């Protein structure tokens, strides 16, 4: 995995936009998978959430969060010691 955090989502979901904004503001690198444009991403979401599309689905190592609150997301980032990017890419 290129990044420690992967986010599976759609562009129209408000919760998803909040998660992406939170990660960007915290300078946490993440890999974005749009399930409407990537069939493999859609299949993964369905497999990991009992056949339902629940957004966003956030993957960190072996932990999967579905529709996390920002405090749940921050707790997972802290648990896995995910830190902001220091590169200026």
**What is the CATH classification number for the domain harbouring 63?**
3.40.30.10
Within a domain: 84: no
Higher pLDDT, 38 or 13: 38
Please give the pLDDT value at position 1. 41
Average pLDDT over residues 13-17: 90
Average pLDDT over residues 65-85: 92
Range of the domain at 22: 5-79
Residue 49 lies in a domain: yes
Q: Is residue 58 part of a domain?
A: yes
Domain-embedded: residue 39: yes
* Closest alpha carbon to 58 in 50, 89, 48: 48
Number of domains forming the structure of the chain: 1
pTM for this prediction: 0.86
pLDDT tens-digit readout, 30-46: 999 999 999 999 999 99
């Amino acid at each position: 995995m290129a990044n420690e955090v992967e986010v599976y989502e759609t562009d129209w979901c408000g919760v998803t936009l909040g998660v992406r904004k939170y990660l960007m503001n915290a300078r946490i690198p993440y890999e974005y998978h749009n399930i409407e444009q990537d069939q493999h991403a859609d299949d993964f979401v369905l497999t990991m959430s009992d056949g339902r599309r629940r957004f966003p689905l956030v993957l960190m190592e072996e932990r999967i969060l579905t529709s996390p609150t920002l405090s749940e997301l921050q707790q997972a980032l802290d648990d896995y010691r995910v830190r902001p990017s220091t590169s200026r890419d």
